[in-house]
């Protein structure tokens, strides 16, 4: 089956604008994760969903960031009033479940966000 | 500082040589995973080793885990130019809910033909 897909692959926006980044997880995966990766760094956790609910959003940097997963499948990461410091690659991952702590997370190709 | 620190930050070897990358972490973990990343985009899962395992093999990859030293190593044998990539270790913190991963900053491996 298809892997995790993310759209768009690249997004260029202006400071202060609103952006939405979309993630389609692997079919049947109940857990979905968002990470952010700055140049030369490893990915940093933002938020994860168990089904439709955000089980842990402690990685979101501030209230400009919000994510939803209304039907337990596709997720959208929303960033309001973008700042230049938000520029990064936003990675989405999904796994079969979350409870055991042993399920592999499969990553999408990422969305490269550039805020001018 | 971030959990999952890789060592070295950069490694350059000749094709056919072995490459060893190390990772250290700070907290108790459920498992440790190694990922590969080309050109700063999607991560490819390589191998997962559970906290009760000491060594695991997958093709040319060998991973060890020493929970007493909170460290892991990834060995790539008989390296190829196509192995050139960044390699990250990621830990699943036992204290966290679910399976959020904490990544290190990665090792940039260059395999010269």
Token pair, residue B92, equals 């699943």
Return the DSSP state at A104.
Answer: P
Beta-carbon separation of B101 and A45 below 8 A? yes
Mutating which of B42, B51, B106 best tests the A interface, going by the most A Cβ atoms within 10 A? B42
CB atoms within 10 A of CB B18: 12
| Any B CB within 8 A of A49 CB | no
Beta-carbon separation of B94 and A40 below 8 A? no
For residue B96, give the chain A residue with the closest CA: A56
The pLDDT score that the predictor gives to residue B1 is 30
H/E segment holding residue A67: strand A65-68
The pLDDT > 70 percentage for chain A reads: 95
Say how far apart CA B90 and CA B87 lie, in whole Å: 10
H/E segment holding residue A77: strand A75-79
User: What is chain B's length?
Assistant: 113
| CA dist B83 → A29, A112, B8, B15, B61 (Å) | 29, 23, 16, 9, 11
Average confidence (pLDDT) over A39-58: 90
Residue A24 Cα to chain centre, angstroms: 10
Average confidence (pLDDT) over A29-35: 93
| Any A CB within 8 A of B25 CB | no
Beta-carbon contacts of B61 under 8 Å, excluding residues fewer than 6 positions away, are: B34, B46, B47, B74, B75, B76, B77
The pLDDT score that the predictor gives to residue B33 is 92
Beta-carbon separation of B98 and A37 below 8 A? no
The pLDDT score that the predictor gives to residue A87 is 97
- Walking along chain B (113 residues) 10 residues at a time, the average pLDDT comes out as 67 96 90 88 90 95 96 96 95 70 92 95
């Amino acid at each position: 089956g298809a892997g995790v897909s993310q759209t768009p692959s690249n997004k260029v926006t202006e400071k202060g604008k609103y952006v939405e980044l979309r993630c389609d997880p692997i079919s049947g995966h109940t857990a979905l994760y968002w990470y952010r990766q700055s140049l030369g760094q490893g990915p940093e956790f933002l938020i994860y969903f168990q089904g439709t609910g955000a089980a842990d959003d402690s990685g979101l940097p501030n209230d400009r960031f919000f994510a939803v997963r209304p039907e337990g499948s596709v997720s959208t990461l929303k960033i309001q009033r973008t700042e230049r410091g938000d520029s990064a690659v936003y990675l989405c991952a999904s796994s079969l479940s979350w409870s055991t702590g042993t399920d592999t997370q499969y990553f999408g190709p990422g969305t490269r966000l550039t805020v001018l | 500082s971030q959990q999952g620190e890789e060592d070295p930050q950069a490694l350059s070897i000749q094709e056919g040589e072995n490459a060893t990358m190390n990772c250290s972490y700070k907290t108790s973990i459920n498992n440790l995973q190694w990922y590969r990343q080309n050109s700063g985009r999607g991560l490819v899962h390589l191998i997962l080793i559970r906290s009760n395992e000491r060594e695991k093999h997958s093709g040319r990859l060998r991973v060890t885990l020493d929970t007493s030293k909170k460290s892991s190593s990834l060995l790539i044998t008989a390296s190829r130019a196509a192995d050139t990539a960044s390699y990250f270790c990621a830990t699943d913190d036992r204290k966290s809910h679910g399976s959020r991963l904490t990544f290190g900053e990665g090792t940039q491996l260059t395999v010269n033909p």
